[in-house]
Structure 1
């Protein structure tokens, strides 16, 4: 069955990271996403081949010289038929190309124009270069990641690029598209990774405001300060995760680790005892291999999971049972999420190295002669 976004056309201006991820999500859920690339093609990331870049899956691709007359004509025709547009350039770049929101919304008043940046379209930092690590530093998020007494540890680029950036943009696009479908006008979405990563910290800001989250790393319940919310090394040098916050789950964890009768482990929520209890738990966990703990803990309410590597995770029985990973184009990759009970997501389809210029132009209503003429002019391929 068609996906929930079936029938929507999104124009994507090629970029890296969060923009492509947002477009991947929209394509995963049924939208037709047409990726505009520079002549000669676009790599998906540093030293990468677009044919193996998961973020570029399930798209139509066309190469357009945005400075050529023929290229601009095709772009305008595409935008005129589109429901949404996504770009991730520094503020002002699209305006200088004559493709800014004012021009595009004049051409298509119902257009949802999504803009993905790190700092946002306005503010003192708006024109500065930056990356995920910088954006989450400014929002207060990076300060919270790390162990006690250690410097902040970037959570790779999950929080700024993808959580605070791409997913916020995808949510904004769907929200604005729904607004248009209900009779509203098109709009511009200013999706900034600083804003998004700050929003992701809402619960922590709430806890801090309530007085029970210290503005320090590694001393709170969820930041490795508590012994019952941490990772532990096993005898074979692997790791397991434990997170039994609720008293009944904590009690079950103590039973399975053989520490239920140790009076020193009873003061679960007393921060002054956390280090002592962590030492005991560390020693016990180190006595068995990860597989041995897996056999003991799996199926229980101890709030346990093995810490799996990127090569291990796709083969885990739970992930296999839910088809959490699939192989497409020879590339093993996560499948679309979330799932729906009565509508389908789009099975991953990797780029084949070819553009879809002829098909896209035909879909726009170009005749065979017009297609050949447009391609011959060299601005579109």
Structure 2
């Protein structure tokens, strides 16, 4: 049973904003998570059996669905229609993450719901957008990154391109969706009408790619890399991320390593273009040098010489770091640690952990009662299949 956090209410600028979340997995839930953390009332509509993310064996579902209320609704059942219509009238925002055409078949597309509520802002998040020859293609984060040109680019000087450990396209799409929704809310203040938003995950990822590389690049390249700006293993098996790009930071590194690597203080490495030109020799030399001391010694020396260095942390270590604790980034409820929307407002920690992710349909009766359905009507919905039989698994995706 999800319980409210004992923490403060935090910064809740979206209090009173009502969000209807039909999405699953990560892009849509990440979008509505930002809104929920900032105070919006998010009702997560799950199919019988729940969001597929509940079955994934890591923390993503619980991290992405805090501060939301879960109801179960079988959108394929005609008897669920009165509930959908009342939810549409209640909401300010609707978010869905189906392939194009599915929302219309389920009767939750913007064209249908806006006839009930012309002020409704609808956001559709799909792999490739609602139009175009690839709009119906299936996919996940990796596919969208490939389509965006992102996977042609290496992340390390001496390695071929490979995927990130984070779902960049999913998170980019969720972020852009939240921004677009907030912009649409502002526009609605002026026009009094809602809008249909159409966001493709591949396009969100392409936007991220273009910011760094533009669109003239037609090959793999190391132009965005520096041999000195990378991960380096130390004598104790830890890794340190060195952010050495500017000349002053290179000079600091050379000074920190002077006693064991005087050869680095050489004219051949005297400026950034020469270090890049000789990068295939410099990168392995730096790796050899870094392995000669443990991480604690290196971090002390780098602090003395103002070198941008950070010991690579696990998520657990990051959450317990002095910096994270000082900034009150991590909040706890039900024995779970979360990092609600990471912003300070007026000098205080913003956002709040109000409760952890609910069980499937935990708030169904509560929400239906708030929509003015009487107990007898709720019982009728349950017997008709509108709320789905308990044994039935997911049927829309």
Q: Which residue of 1 aligns with 2:356?
A: 350
Distance of aligned partners of 1:167 and 1:57 in 2 relative to their CA distance in 1, 3 Å threshold = same
Give the match for residue 200 of structure 1: 208
User: Structure 2: 5+ residue runs without aligned partners?
Assistant: 1-9, 389-397
CA contact under 8 A between 1:50 and 1:351: conserved in structure 2? no
Q: RMSD of the alignment, in Å?
A: 2.6
Matches of 2:213 and 2:379, distance apart in 1: 58
Q: 2:329 aligns with which of 324, 328, 346?
A: 324
Q: 1:308 & 1:190 partners in 2: Cα distance?
A: 37
Q: 2:316 aligned with 1:308, yes or no? A: no
Tell me how far 1:63 sits from its aligned partner. 0.6
Whole-angstrom CA distance in 1 between matches of 2:154 and 2:265:
33
For 2:59 and 2:35, the matched residues in 1 are separated by 18
**2:363 is the counterpart of 1:359:** no
SS in 2 for 1:21: helix
1:257 to 2:257 alignment? yes
Q: Does 1:292 align with 2:301?
A: no
Distance 1:343 1:279 in 2: 42
Cα distance, 1:2–1:150 mapped onto 2, change above 3 Å: closer
CA distance in 2, matches of 1:152, 1:293: 29
Alignment partners' CA distance in 2, 1:150 and 1:179:
46
CA contact (8 A) 1:268 1:274 kept: no
Query: What are the ranges of 5 or more consecutive residues in structure 1 without an aligned counterpart?
Result: none
Given that 1:90 and 1:117 are in contact with CA atoms closer than 8 Å, whether structure 2 keeps it comes out as: yes
- Give the 3 Å change call, closer, same or farther, for CA 380–14 of structure 1 in structure 2: same
- Answer 1 or 2: higher relative contact order, Cα 8 Å, separation at least 6: 2
Partners of 1:314 and 1:320 within 8 A in 2: yes
Q: Residues of 1 paired with 2:117 and 2:105: CA distance? A: 19
Q: What is the SS of the residue equivalent to 2:191?
A: coil
Shift of the alpha carbon at 1:243? 1.1
Residue 193 (structure 2) pairs with residue 185 (structure 1): yes
Greater Cα offset, 55-64 or 137-146 = 137-146
Bigger shift: residues 270-279 or 114-123: 270-279
